[in-house]
Amino acid sequence: MFKPIFSAAMLSASLLLTACHTTAINTHPLQSLQLQTQRWTLTHLGTNVLPANLQVQPYLQFDAASKQIRGSDGCNRIMASYQLSQNQLHFSQLSSTKMMCRDANMLLASQFSEVLQQVTSYRIEAHTLQLLDRKGQVLMQLNNRQVAD
């Protein structure tokens, strides 16, 4: 008598855990799809808000097929490989053109590249992509809203 009750309890617990686990996993593909199908424009670097009137607005665009990002750091065109797993995100093989830019743009470009190398995860809320470090601190914030000309 004890064995059938124990078996039923174990089966119920397994189903409950599987249902919870499946729900958590199923939210990831939507964020992954959103991450890899949008152009993300930089709005914040750390806690600093970027001016909207920059000559070249830094941005990232993810290519799911090649696992490459392309974009701009505000001065140079950038490229990198990325690895994506759940909400974990890692960039490698970061390369860029070497254009001469104004001092302010060169500083932004340098900071942008340094921060990308510290990214370990991401979070998307509405139209905002937050790139996070290993402690969960927001390193940069990007937006995918289209701005009217």
CA angle 67, 69, 75 (to 5 degrees): 165
Looking at residue 28, what is its pLDDT? 55
3-state SS, residue 64: coil
Looking at residue 27, what is its pLDDT? 42
3-state SS, residue 67: coil
3-state SS, residue 130: strand
User: Is residue 79 packed enough to be buried (19+ CB in 10 Å), middle (13-18) or exposed (0-12)?
Assistant: middle
Alpha helices in 36-89 (DSSP H): none
pTM: 0.73
Q: Tokens 């830094």 correspond to what residue? A: 58
Looking at residue 78, what is its pLDDT? 94
Low-confidence ranges of the chain (pLDDT < 50): 6-27, 148-149
